[in-house]
Structure formats: structure tokens, C-alpha cells
Amino acid sequence: MTRSLNGKVAIVTGAGSGIGRGVALRLAEDHAAISVWDLNGEGAAETVRQIEAAGGKAIAITVDCSDKAAIKAAADETRAKLGPIAILVNNAGISPYKPFFDLDDDLFDKTIAVNLRGPYLITKEVLPEMVAAGWGRVINITSSSVQSGAVDLVHYVSSKGGLMGMTKALALEFAASGVTFNIVPPGVIDTPMLRGAPIDAEAFAKTLPMKRMGTPADIAAAVAYLASEEAGYITGQTISTNGGRYMGSH
Ligand code: NAP
């Protein structure tokens, strides 16, 4: 078995931090050329530094993944500097906790814009070249909260549930194209987002069957498998990477 992605070009959104950085580092280790997209340009540059230090190839692009024009520009820059896009990991996301009665419509719309409409726009931008090549991998990072529900996160869970549905619908529509679409819903993963959440992450992690938080590398391992050549017969599926938190597939 080979893990090599043979220089295929991968976009990883939100790769200037946390899970996205872990995924970018792992796909680079597997010999993909990485386009690191993030709103946080300094974070994206740091991820590129880490990839290059490990002998990999990457570029950093500062981009708002909910902005259609910015997405087009970032995709064009990726093609010009690295080549045709073969792998897309929709990871960028926000999770602003807010009780339902305090949730204003703008925050609901913003969460949908980043977590659901963004992946839709980016997929639309890059899918034609994957279909033309007869090979592609789209991996969408949702959340175990879609499986369990989550307090004060109606807007977030709605956005991630939508992304799960979108992944399955695309998987079916493009099943014969050579492009696969799969879902990785992280459980409790040690990242700046989790540490910034108004919950006691350490205590919550102790309630999990595995009694620990996951790491970005845990998520990256599932993503790397789904991005690999070997995963070509798997589409519309979910790899729940959550330390046993939730054992259903959807
Ligand atoms: P993180 O540490 O906050 O990293 C997310 C990155 O995405 C940040 O660099 C952030 O930039 C960037 N970003 C946010 N909005 C963006 C936009 N509009 N355009 C481009 N980049 C944007 O979060 P994480 O924990 O690694 O989460 C990654 C994904 O996993 C998210 O989709 C999250 O919902 C999901 N997830 C995480 C967990 C967990 O336990 N950590 C659990 C379930 C699901 P800024 O810092 O500038 O905002």
C-alpha cells in the first residue's frame, strides 16, 4: 500500500489553525502540494513554514471562505502556483455559542455563510476540474454535534447538518465521476476553537469513552485515508473520529 498522493494539489480551508493545520501537515507528509486557505494570514503562513520545514510543498492564501469573489481568486492563485486542484478539505468554520432566544438572525446567517454556503461555493468552483480529470476527493469536516445535538449551538448544528446532507447529495450526483465526497465529524478535539468555547473541555473529555480529547492528527488520519487512492470506492460515508463519543454513522 502506498500513502503517496504524488504531488496532487489539495486545498485545506481554515488551515491556519487547529484541525486544518493538522490536516495540511498530514496531506503534505503524504506528498500532496497544499494550498493553505485561512482568514488568518499569519496562521496560514505559519502552517506553510511548518510544512516546508518538514520538506513539503505549500502556499498560503488569505481568504474569506464565505466570499465568492475571494474564493475564485484563491482558486485561480492555487492553480497558477501549484496546478489543477484534486483534493478539497472544507474545514474552515465558526462556532459562536449563543442560547436560542439570544440568537439574532445575523449570527444565524453568518454561521450558515461560513460553515455551509462557503463549502458549497468552493465545491462549485473546483469540482469541474476534478470531474474533467476523472479523479477528485472532497472531504467535509462537520461535527459530532450533528449526531448528538448541542446546547446553545442551534445555528452551528444546523449549518453542519446541512453540510452533511450536501455531502451525501453530491456523492450520489457525482458517484460515477471519479470524485468522492465524504464526511469527518470531529468529536472533542484540542484546538484554539475548543479552548475558546464556554465549556470545560478537560472535564467534558473525561466523560468520553476514551477519556481524552482528540488531536488534530487524529482527524488528519481519517482525512488522509479518505483522500488516498485506496479510498476510491468510498463515497457519501462518515468516519466518526470522536473517541467513541457517538457510534451511529449519521
Ligand atoms: P480553529 O482552531 O478555530 O480553526 C479554524 C480556522 O478557520 C481559524 O484559523 C479561523 O480563522 C478560520 N476561519 C474561520 N472563518 C473563516 C472564513 N470565513 N474563511 C477562512 N477561514 C476561516 O477551529 P478547529 O477546532 O480547528 O475547527 C476546524 C473545524 O472543525 C471547524 O469547521 C469546526 O467546526 C470543526 N469541529 C471542531 C471541533 C473541535 O472540537 N475542535 C469539533 C467538531 C467540529 P480565525 O481564527 O481568524 O477565525
The model's pLDDT over 50-62, given as tens digits with 9 standing for 90+, comes to: 999 999 999 999 9
Helix/strand/coil for 179 = strand
Which residue is closest in CA terms to ligand 1's atom 44?
Answer: 143
3 and 228 in contact (C-beta within 8 Å)? yes
Pocket test for ligand 1, best of 11, 12, 13, 19 (most atoms within 8 A of CB): 19
pLDDT of residue 249: 62
pLDDT in tens, 83-103: 999 999 999 999 999 999 999
33 CA distance to ligand 1 centroid (A)?
21
For residues 232 and 37, give the distance between their C-alpha atoms in angstroms, rounded to a whole number.
Answer: 25
Average pLDDT over residues 201-212: 96
Residue 45 has pLDDT above 60, yes or no: yes
What is the DSSP code string of 81-147? HT-SEEEEEE---------GGG--HHHHHHHHIIIIIHHHHHHHHHHHHHHHHT-EEEEEE--THHH
pLDDT in tens, 117-138: 999 999 999 999 999 999 999 9
pLDDT of residue 190: 98
For residues 187 and 184, give the distance between their C-alpha atoms in angstroms, rounded to a whole number.
Answer: 10
Residue 170 has pLDDT above 60, yes or no: yes
For residues 137 and 88, give the distance between their C-alpha atoms in angstroms, rounded to a whole number.
Answer: 6
14 CA distance to ligand 1 centroid (A)?
6
Residue 1 has pLDDT above 50, yes or no: no
Residue 202 has pLDDT above 70, yes or no: yes
Average pLDDT over residues 238-243: 96
Residue 3 has pLDDT above 80, yes or no: no
170 CA distance to ligand 1 centroid (A)?
23
Nearest to 28 by CA among 45, 2, 50: 50
**How much of the chain exceeds pLDDT 90, in percent?**
97
| Cell numbers linked to 152 | 446553545
Give the atom of ligand 1 at the shortest distance from the alpha carbon of 213: 40
User: 200: which residues sit within 8 A by CB, 6+ positions away?
Assistant: none
Strand order in the sheet with 85-90: 57-62, 33-38, 9-13, 85-90, 136-141, 179-184
Which residue is closest in CA terms to ligand 1's atom 12?
Answer: 14
Give the atom of ligand 1 at the shortest distance from the alpha carbon of 194: 41
Average pLDDT over residues 179-196: 97
| Cell numbers linked to 131 | 470531474
pLDDT of residue 93: 98
Among 137-146, 162-171, 240-249, the minimum mean pLDDT is found in 240-249
For residues 74 and 70, give the distance between their C-alpha atoms in angstroms, rounded to a whole number.
Answer: 6
Written as one letter, the residue type at 56 is G
Pocket test for ligand 1, best of 21, 23, 25, 38 (most atoms within 8 A of CB): 38
What is the DSSP code string of 52-88? HHTT-EEEEEE--TT-HHHHHHHHHHHHHHT-SEEEE
Q: How far apart are the first and last CA of the chain?
A: 29
For residues 13 and 34, give the distance between their C-alpha atoms in angstroms, rounded to a whole number.
Answer: 10
Which residues have CB under 6 Å of ligand 1? 13-14, 16-20, 38-40, 43, 63-66, 91-95, 114, 141, 143, 186, 188-189, 191-194
Query: Is 97 a catalytic site residue?
Result: no
Give the atom of ligand 1 at the shortest distance from the alpha carbon of 216: 26
Which residue is closest in CA terms to ligand 1's atom 27?
Answer: 19
Q: Please identify which of the residues 97, 120, 156, 246 carries the catalytic annotation.
A: 156
Which residue is closest in CA terms to ligand 1's atom 34?
Answer: 93
For residues 239 and 82, give the distance between their C-alpha atoms in angstroms, rounded to a whole number.
Answer: 29
Mean pLDDT of the chain: 97
Give the atom of ligand 1 at the shortest distance from the alpha carbon of 118: 18
pLDDT of residue 248: 73
